[in-house]
Amino acid sequence: MDFDLTGEHVLFQKAIRNFAQKEIAPLVDEAEETNVFPKQLFKKMGALGYLCPRYPLELGGGDGDKIMDCIMAEELNRVNAGIAASLMVQSGLSTQPIYRFGSEEQKEKFLVPAIKGEKIAAFALTEPDAGSDAASIKTRALKDGDHYVLNGTKIFTTNGPICDFATVAAYTDPSKRGEGINLFIVEKGTPGFSASRKLDKVGNRSIETGELVFEDCRVPAKNMIGEKEGGGFDMIADTLISGRITYGGRCTGTAQAAYDLTVQYAKERIQFGKPIVAFQATRFKLAEMAMNIDIMRSYTYRVAWMYDQGKNVRKESSMVKLFASETLQKILSDSMQIHGGYGYMMEYPIQRYWRDGRLFTITEGTSEVQRLIIASETLR
């Protein structure tokens, strides 16, 4: 294993960092204030091959690896976690099941336009009464000729209000807990499919997150991912493993941004006649932050490398998600403490990273779920 990034990784890192600073950073304040995602970013990133860097060139992707995916997540989150999340759902949760298990027709109609940024995708799994226990979803897909009729409600759906299609989990056979789930591609404009409301959140305000409702929604049978009924739960698990590794990049980018802001503030803030960075209490906090960020980044890359080698990383992906998201909370707390009263003021950007980062121990598998997975894999 080589612990250095390849030349290709370094070039991509510089390119995506430059893009994020020039094209995304100027849009952050308005997106946060209005809770409206700047949709033009999908096409801009798609045209450059940045939107879905892991997918093959022939599909419009960047032909990269999982490490490249994590580099993108880190650089985007250094600028804004909300905008990053919306773009990452496009490159991961909503499209990976189509790439991994979809038909050629589905790839041509949905995946390729999503990679190019011509169609916006969402991933609809969580329901009002089914979060960590994904097998308890109630959305039902009943076969009716060459269609399936979907009924149910999804909540906390990233890109839900703006999506052109959603990858939706539903039971085709409710008698088989978990195993009876399938994934369906549901297009915007399909009768019975609606984004009933946009949700107002404490942080990650530049994401458009919504509630999706399916009422006697007729979906062509050819839009079911996979060749037979059942097996959707395994597809979801496969997708979430990849997503949890990406969360290492998300957390690292947010932590790095908070650290950079805090170092700058500590050098400028004068108390007792000198910058607060000169005080041991502050320096020790900053040293610990720097150490933990390096560990977060290194472990994320290690597990991403294992994933690319085809190794079973169910345990390690949960370790990445758990360690990085929980460590981030301490880094953000210390950053706020060093900023003092100013950190609590909306005019200082550190409060936004603090609000945004709080979500990371909850979404895509809570810390408690990650501990359960790690324990089940370790204590056999």
Rounded CA gap, 76 and 84, in Å?
5
Q: Is 364 a catalytic residue?
A: yes
Rounded CA gap, 151 and 365, in Å?
24
Is residue 164 within 8 Å of 119, Cβ to Cβ? yes
E strand or H helix that includes residue 372? helix 367-378
Is residue 81 within 8 Å of 24, Cβ to Cβ? no
Q: Assign 144 to helix, strand or coil.
A: strand
Is residue 50 within 8 Å of 16, Cβ to Cβ? yes
Tell me the Ramachandran region of residue 159: left when phi exceeds 0, alpha when psi lies from -120 to 50, beta otherwise. Answer: left
Give which of 295, 289, 297, 294 is closest to 338, Cα–Cα. Answer: 289
E strand or H helix that includes residue 217? strand 209-220
Rounded CA gap, 277 and 262, in Å?
9
**Nearest 5°: phi and psi at 324?**
-65, -45
CA angle in degrees (0–180, nearest 5) for 26-30-33? 145
CA dihedral in degrees (299, 304, 308, 309; nearest 10)? 20
Q: Which of 211, 268, 364, 377 is catalytic?
A: 364
**Nearest 5°: phi and psi at 215?**
-125, 105
Rounded CA gap, 236 and 246, in Å?
15
In this structure, what token pair is assigned to residue 13?
């890192």
Active-site annotation, residues: 364
